[in-house]
Amino acid sequence: MFRPIKGSENKLFTPNERPETAGETYHLEVLRPLIKVSEYLGSWPRDGSQFILRLNAWNGLTLFVLHFYTVHKFFNWMTVVKTTENIFEVFEQLTLITRTAIVALCFDYRFLMHQSNMDLFKIFGSITTLNEEWCLLRLKNIIKFVIGACFFFVFLHVLFASIFMFHTSTDKYVNWLFYGDAADQTPDFVVRMIMIADWALYLYLVICNECFFFGLYIALCLTMLFKVKDFNAFAKRIQKERLIKTGSQVQELYQMHTRLSEMITEAERSYSFPSFLWILCIIFNLAVKIESVIHGIKKAEFREFGYIFTDVIYYSLGFMAICMVASEVGEANSEPIISLIKIAEYGDIEDWVFQQETQLLITKINTPMLKLSGWSCFELNMQFMLTILGALATYAIIIIQMA
């Protein structure tokens, strides 16, 4: 790692002795609370060269139960398809399948891409900041807020799921749960206990994992944003103080930006596919939940209203947070262009190496390649967020008019 030296005529950076291994970086310590929660949920892999070696007993049990539960939910949905004529009820149950299946896929993908995650943490550690202690302290406080928000939404899900569970029909629920007519042979107390176990499993396996998947991605984006913005502040500072005099110093700045590029590229590699799945899940769930809310208000059926409305708020805020933070990372990456142009302007025109290196760095930063996306199908930015929210608002108006 390197640390900036003000006023140095030969070097912009000097070696720093802090170790760079992933387990020893301060950034991994900042993210440790989120990783610990993932470990308790059984969704964080241990170090290993292959997928199977990254599983311990708890991970393996979670893997089996999660995938079995996904298949179970599919057969539950098939029961609904065969026994109901209400298309919106079919779609409402389909949201449970998509939610569970996407959590299972993201679980598998995290274990497959674990080495890439560790490489990302190493890159975090290799990029120092001007005010590292202050940046990490601020980042740590923000991540604590993200964790608190995740636990808050989990609590709301538990609260409203409990209210819904104790007001719903036991016969209908147990028939749905066991793919047919099973209520007549089952005592009511046993049914209630089965309902509690099923909802507890769903909340633990699906809601908690999904919520903290979102939280970790937002925390990683915030970490990258702090790094990129610090590079921008450093470029602006050396431009104002005219610290860069030679082509070799520009090369050092180029190498620093290359590490930032590697950081964003590694994050895109590890989280592009899960982001694609999450966004699709969010859009589909919001579309179905909006209809459910409107239908509930129209029919004065409020048994599920709290739970469904919580989902609408949860998905809306999660979607906006992901898009806004990812957009900030992409936009901040191109901010130092003006500073670098000014550096080239006050540099020695006759110094061909200096001018060439400066132009190479400007071209590199000005090339719009480093963006966070959803599997390269769409870019996570403000324009995409507003487009989707506008489409959902239009959909809600149409549903209201049809109602």
**What would the DSSP string read from start to end of 276-344?**
HHHHHHHHHHHHHHHHHHHHHHHHT--TTHHHHHHHHHHHHHHHHHHHHHHHHHHHHTTTTHHHHHHHH
For residue 186, name the pLDDT band (cuts at 50, 70, 90).
low
Average pLDDT over residues 378-392: 95
For residue 337, name the pLDDT band (cuts at 50, 70, 90).
confident
* Residue bearing the bigger pLDDT, 188 or 385: 385
What's the rounded Cα separation, in Å, for the pair 236 and 332?
13
What's the rounded Cα separation, in Å, for the pair 95 and 372?
26
* Residue bearing the bigger pLDDT, 27 or 254: 254
Give the DSSP letter string of 336-398.
THHHHHHHHHHS-TT-HHHHHHHHHHHHHHHSTT---BSTTSSB-SHHHHHHHHHHHHHHHHH
For residue 366, name the pLDDT band (cuts at 50, 70, 90).
confident
Question: For the segment 218-236, what is each residue's pLDDT rounded down to a tens digit?
Answer: 999 999 998 888 888 888 8
Joined together, the tokens standing for residue 236 give: 């602006």
pLDDT at 299: 58
Q: How many CB atoms lie within 10 A of CB 239?
A: 20
Q: Is 379 helix (H, G, I), strand (E, B) or coil?
A: strand
**Which alpha helices (H) appear in 84-131, and where do they start and end?**
87-112, 114-126
pLDDT at 169: 65
Position 214 pLDDT exceeds 60: yes
Q: Is 110 left (phi over 0), alpha (psi -120 to 50) or beta?
A: alpha
Question: For the segment 133-182, what is each residue's pLDDT rounded down to a tens digit?
Answer: 677 788 889 999 999 999 999 999 888 877 777 666 666 676 666 666 65
Q: Is 124 helix (H, G, I), strand (E, B) or coil?
A: helix
Question: For the segment 230-255, what is each residue's pLDDT rounded down to a tens digit?
Answer: 888 888 888 888 888 788 888 888 88
For residue 297, name the pLDDT band (cuts at 50, 70, 90).
low
Do the Cβ atoms of 336 and 236 come closer than 8 Å? yes
Joined together, the tokens standing for residue 353 give: 């190496």
Gap between the terminal Cα atoms of the chain: 62
For residue 298, name the pLDDT band (cuts at 50, 70, 90).
low
Average pLDDT over residues 306-330: 91
Position 24 pLDDT exceeds 60: no
Per the prediction, the chain carries an average pLDDT of: 83
% of the chain with per-residue pLDDT over 70: 83
Joined together, the tokens standing for residue 294 give: 């409107």
Average pLDDT over residues 99-127: 92
For residue 62, name the pLDDT band (cuts at 50, 70, 90).
very high
For residue 335, name the pLDDT band (cuts at 50, 70, 90).
confident
Paired residues of 14 in beta bridges: 3
